[in-house]
Structures are given as structure tokens and as C-alpha cells.
Structure 1
């Protein structure tokens, strides 16, 4: 189906052809500001890979900086294409990424998006609970609590805003603090890297390009831009939806600045000896401990954003709304379902010994597919490739190829890590 780009967001009333067109991107006075949307995107995206980027440069060399900038440009472009798909028919706004998949390819498209989407919006909070629980245990060993106990404590903390705040408009307030936490974390990493530059390791080396590791570097850096699992709900909570292109571009550019500020000094200081996360390479002083605390704050604030994205889809599926259930029962159903979601995440975080490897496998496939491949394919199917100029078609082809290669290589690496974890566990 192809539509003129100018009429994509408008539709005339079915009652009369003489009536004015309805602007689906009109101002929504009851929704949040552009800044809250910007902070939402930064909080979710920047936390996905900031501390692992010096290690990514260690794997591939200085060319990783160029790969990071390329990933930024691709991510902005596909985020814009994806939101155009949301309004493709001019009659109503599609409510989710899954709906876009269904409109494009029917049930197979719906199932594909649902699988990858769910693996990220549930898998990432599970990993956040594991990370925060372990780090809390390391920071407060005198408490005598096990990692599992700390995980459940962190799950209870996450549950409070997740249950009490219904939509991303309310949760977005927390994302401002999450975004600030990311900035502090980057400052800690930069400070430690600069300190260690004065005393470099004699065995440390820097490389421009390591061809053998280049595919893995591409996959690792591409995953750092995973955020479109919440884009639909972020845009839905915007007062000025027409500002989406500027908001997402500014947010992803901010994330890239944070990435570069961490990656370049980190690789300069540690080179071939950089570790992931980079905090393991930094001087183990009070500032690094502050960085650890900031990590805990960040992931606890980011988890409700991802969980809310999943919960909104769940509640739409089961029609948990005030109109359908009434004000009281809607709150009851919503509270019970969200507590159950947090409980499942906490249980998995406690009982799966190496869940991170499973998440890496799903994340490599899911992030690269959802960020790069699917937005282009869905746009071609719903709106039409003839709407794009020749250079845009070439650009789309490059994005899809990089997305597919990143997904394959990242999945292979995750399978190897999973096998190693099983071997170690059996021993």
C-alpha cells in the first residue's frame, strides 16, 4: 500500500467529504512534554551498553568509533520510519509495534514482533534485577543478605512505581533521574580513565582495525541503540507528537555523546586490556563505588519504563481499562497483573544461573531485528518503497544488511557463551 507522504497523517471524516481533515498528530494537551519523552528515550537507550563500549573498541579497534556513529544514523532513520508506519493508513494510530507487524504481514508479522519485543522488555528488567541485586550485596556485605534476597528487595522497589504509575507519562518523571544517573556514571568512567592514562600498562596496545573481530564489534555496538521497544508508548505520551523526529534524533544523539565520552578515554587508557564493564578497569576508589551506586539507581529507574511498555500491551490484550472494567476493578486488575509481572521477573532472576547468556542470544536477534531490519521491511510493505529516493533505497539496503549480519554474528557469540556456561555449570 502506497500513500502520499503529505497525506499520511490525515484522513477525511467518513460523514462528509466536505469536512476538514483530522490531524492525527494534533496537540494532545493531557500528555507530557517533549523533554519528558526525550528523557525517557535517553534513560532506556543509554543504559543498554555504555560501560561495555571500551571493550567493544578493544575487540575491533578504533574503527569502532565510526561504527558507533553509523549505528546512530541508522537508528534515527529507522525510528522515524517506524513511527510513520504507526500512522500509515491515515485513519487511526496503530497502538504498538506488534500492530504494525500485524498490519504489514498478518499473524506471522505479529508473532515475530511479539517474540522479539517480549524478550527485550522482560529480559532486560530481569538482568537489571540481577545486576542491582549482586551489586547491592557487594556494597553492603555487612547486611548478611544473599544475592537472591537483594534481588527481591530490588524487585519490590521497582514494583512501587510500576504498579502505582499507569502510563509512561507518569513513569517519564523517573526517567529524568535515570538520564542524570547515566551522565554521572559516564563522568565517573571518564575521570578514572584519565587518571590511568598517566600510568599505562607496558603490555597494552591499540589497534586501528582487527578484521577477525569486526563482525562482533558491529553486533555489540548496534545493540547499544536498542530502544524502539518503547518508542510507541513514548510517542503516545507526547503532547506534541509532530516533534517526534526531533525528539528521537536529539535523544539518540545524546546517547551517542555519552557513548563516545566513555568509549574513547576508556580505550585510550586501557587499550587491549579494557574490561566489560569498564568499572572493572577503573581505580577501585570511592569514586568508582559511587559509580556502582549510580548503576544500581539507573537500572532500578529504567526497569519500570520497560515493564510499563509490556504492561500496556498486556492490558490492551485483556481489555483492562476503566471503560470496560470500571474505575475500581480496573485498578485491581492492573495492580494484580503488574505485581505478577514483577514476581515472574524476580523469580527468573533468582533461579536461572546464567540467564544473561539466554538474554544475549535473544537480545542479539531481537535488538538488531527490531531496530534495523523490521522498520525498513514494514515501511516498504505498508507505505511503499516508491516513496523513497534512490539514495534512500541504497541506505535502507545497507541498514538491513548490517542488521542481519549483526543478528547472526551476535547470536553465534551468544550461543558460544551459553555453551561455555553450561560446561562450567556441569563441572
Structure 2
């Protein structure tokens, strides 16, 4: 605040400042490492499934892929701002480790209903995604071993072997404890996607001319569900943000990460659509590539990525369950027991439905549509309506007010006042607002009309697209056009992943 003619005028801080208390350097993830975790989490299954989705959606699928990617980057940054706002309003979130940040955002924005909805969708997304990853890893390894060694070991058996190998690695703590996995996942998927694109281009002279059928309602929205799944990392975003050195910088990590993912997705999606078109018969593009050293290299790289991504993807579920059972955030027998039980339950689902395409589209149209498109803008709007602490669900902040100017920019409001945050394109205007109920500065902010309209439009896109995609998947199952294979434990000889 500055004084002029005896009056106090509001100070202006940049959006990056966000009124976060100055703290000594902390251990945690940086912006680039946060982006690496996003690439490692989001990318992978999309490389394998998107080419077929482009064929099912027609030429419009390419535009849909770009739009969904850009919206995911925007809503991911909005979700990051939601957590930053909570850290500003509730100092206890600075001092305590929060194992379930996404449900916490839902609770502070929309009460118990918001927390339950967020938790249900996050767990459903990550759990289903883990099952898909198990199936993809098993299928890739089965194909690789059969192609190289001419030894046929069915994918169902590989699911068992892979689960046994992965279980010890799931005992690691939080994302910052296995940052190497994020780097490996990001590097392997980037190189793998590039090689797969080159392999498709090399096939073009020997492949029959591609044809492109007009998409149907069901095929288009099935593809939409697949595209949503390909960008379905928002469930993990708050967990990554919590582990950052500067959590308020997370929106930058989201934009960098999602744009990188989009740059990996686009070439292979377009190449698959142009080179193969209707000749593509498999949900996994690798099953349609010619057998060569490039295919084998891609199989190894993408499978390595899926191994690493599996660990990152399931971590929020583990942390949520451990918090529910009051398990300390350290290595222990109880932690290992809970995580083993989760992975074994996923193994049962993978053996029961050894066909990832159906699971992928169904999750994309339901829980991922909610966590990526609906919840972030909705929670952001609800948080903006909370003008005083009593407007927010849950217990009021009860920490003592700061003593003296301890904030970035030397901005410290008087005791009993709160700070009003008015968002513009470039800055946040910070002004004091009297609040007799506040014990700590309570930050409020206003959403410009154009931005509010944009947020509402994204919510509607998520609702309409998600409902249509889910309906298409269910209709395909009911009509028999989406064939379920025999569960592995019923008939190991004929089960087909």
C-alpha cells in the first residue's frame, strides 16, 4: 500500500506474485519437472489409440484433437489457480501436506457434494487408466516377444507377470520421490511417438490407398471419448502441484506440458489417418505397423513409458486411501498392504475385461469429461463467489494474522481486513476490504465477463460431449458392434486382449 494525501491506495502485484508468503527455498519440483510429470502422465495411451480415433471421427477429428488439447491446457491452469487461491485463503494448506488436493478444492468450492464428486471421478479416472495401462503393457510385450523370439505367450499371462513386477515400485512415496520416472516417461514417449510416425510414413508406398468413410454419430463420439482420455491427466495435476517448490507456478507447467503432448499426438494421429485410413483395423496403432526394427523400438519405448506412467497415475489413489486409513506418509507395512490390494483389484478387472478400447472410451466420456472440462471452471467460478470466509464450506481459517509485512511486494493488510483480488489480463489488483469475521487475510477475486462466458461454454462442452460419448459407447456395447472378449480366467486359451 502507498500513502498519498493521507489516503491509502491499493498496490498492484503481478499474477505470478499471487500474494504468497515469502518462504525459504524448499525441496520439490520445478516448473520444467512439473511439465515432465504432466507429459509422463498424460502421454502414452493416446499415441496408441488416437490414430484409430481420427479414422472414426473423420477429418473433423484433427480439429477436435487440437481443440481438446488447448482446452485441457486452459482448464489445467485454472485448476492450478484454484489450489493457489486455497493456499492464500487457508494457511494450514501451506504447513500441512494435503494428500487429496483435488477433492479438497471440490470441498472448499462446493461443499461435501463437490468433494464426493471430485473424489469419485478422480479415483474412477485413475483406476480405469491404470487398468488400461496394464492391458497395453501386456499386449505390447506379448507382441514384441512373439515378433522377436517367435515365442507365443498370451497377453493374459503377461498381465500377471507385469503386475508382479510393478507392485514393489508402487511402494514409493509421492511424485517428488520418483522424479526419474517422470523424465524417463516423457523422453520415451516423445521418441516413441516420433519413430511411430516415421514408420507410418515409410509404410505409405506399400500400403493400399487410404479411404475415409463418413463418421456416424456413434463412431464420432466414441472417438471423442478416446480423445478426452488422451488428455485425461487433470486428476493428477493437483498432486503434482502440491509437490512443487512454487505451487503458484504450476499453470506454466500445465501449459508447457499439454502443448508438448499435443505436439507428440498430432503427427502420429495425422499420419495414421492419411496413410492407413479405413485400412486401420486395430485400436492400437502398433498392431497395424509393419514389423521392422522401428516397430520393435517403438514397442520398447512406449512400454517403458507406460511402466513409468503407471506409477505416477496411481499415486493420488494411494495417498487418498492412506489418508483415509490414517497411514503416515512414510514407508511402512500398512502402506505396502494398501497399495498391493489396489493393484491386485486392478489385475482382476484387467483379466475380466482384456480389451482396453471399451474401457478407454467409457472413462473418457464420463469421469475425464468431469475432471478435465467441468470441475475446474465450475470450482473456479464458485470460489470467486466467496466474498468472506463464512461463504466458503467447512471450517473457517483459524490461524493468527501475520505480524508485520511478510508478503511478496511488502503487502500486508491490517488485522481484520481482507484482500480483494480483481483479475485482469495482466495483473491482480489487491485492495483491502473490511471483514470483521476474518482472522487471516481473505483473498477475493472477480472473473471478467468474457472469461466467465468462456468457462461456462467449456462446462457445456464437457457435459454435452461427455453424455454423447458415454451414450455411444453403451449403444455400441448393446448392439454388439463393440465386442467383449472372454475373460482370461474363464478361458485362457481363447481370451484376446
TM-score range, shorter chain: 0.7 to 0.9
**What TM-score do the two structures reach when normalised by structure 1?**
0.85
Aligned residue in 1 for 2:298 = 291
Aligned residue in 2 for 1:301 = 308
Is residue 91 from structure 1 mapped to residue 97 from structure 2 by the alignment? no
CA contact (8 A) 2:225 2:363 kept: no
Once the two structures are superposed, residues 207-256 of structure 1 have per-residue CA deviations (whole angstroms, 9 ceiling, x without a partner) of: 8x857555444443233211011111111111222321211100000000
Aligned residue in 2 for 1:178 = 185
Residue 117 of structure 1 is aligned with which of 122, 138, 154?
A: 122
Once the two structures are superposed, residues 131-186 of structure 1 have per-residue CA deviations (whole angstroms, 9 ceiling, x without a partner) of: 222332333356665534321221122222211x2111022211111111111221
Aligned residue in 1 for 2:36 = 39
Aligned residue in 2 for 1:279 = 286
Residue 310 of structure 1 is aligned with which of 291, 295, 317?
A: 317
Is residue 248 from structure 1 mapped to residue 254 from structure 2 by the alignment? yes
With over 3 angstroms needed to count, the CA separation of the structure-2 counterparts of 1:73 and 1:414, relative to structure 1, is: same
**Matched residues in 1 for 2:485 and 2:237: separation?**
39
Deviation at 1:361, TM superposition (A): 2.2
Deviates further, 284-293 or 26-35:
26-35
Deviation at 1:406, TM superposition (A): 1.9
Is residue 135 from structure 1 mapped to residue 140 from structure 2 by the alignment? yes
With over 3 angstroms needed to count, the CA separation of the structure-2 counterparts of 1:168 and 1:424, relative to structure 1, is: closer
**What TM-score do the two structures reach when normalised by structure 2?**
0.73
**Matched residues in 1 for 2:162 and 2:176: separation?**
23
Once the two structures are superposed, residues 100-135 of structure 1 have per-residue CA deviations (whole angstroms, 9 ceiling, x without a partner) of: 222222222222112211111111112211222233
Is residue 342 from structure 1 mapped to residue 350 from structure 2 by the alignment? no
> Structure 1 unaligned runs (5+)?
12-20
Q: Which has the higher helix share?
A: 1
Deviates further, 82-91 or 26-35:
26-35
Aligned residue in 1 for 2:161 = 153
CA contact (8 A) 1:116 1:362 kept: no
Deviates further, 233-242 or 81-90:
81-90
> Structure 2 unaligned runs (5+)?
1-10, 387-444, 488-497
Secondary structure (helix, strand or coil) at the match of 2:289 reads: coil
With over 3 angstroms needed to count, the CA separation of the structure-2 counterparts of 1:398 and 1:200, relative to structure 1, is: farther
The 5-angstrom pairing of residues 170-209 of structure 1 reads 170-202=177-209, 204-206=210-212
Is residue 267 from structure 1 mapped to residue 273 from structure 2 by the alignment? yes
Is residue 235 from structure 1 mapped to residue 244 from structure 2 by the alignment? no
Residue 452 of structure 2 is aligned with which of 393, 398, 402?
A: 393
**Matched residues in 2 for 1:25 and 1:60: separation?**
50
Q: How large is the RMSD of aligned CA atoms in angstroms? A: 3.1
Aligned residue in 2 for 1:361 = 362
Aligned residue in 1 for 2:424 = none
Deviates further, 39-48 or 286-295:
286-295
Give aligned pairs, total.
Answer: 405
With over 3 angstroms needed to count, the CA separation of the structure-2 counterparts of 1:104 and 1:33, relative to structure 1, is: closer
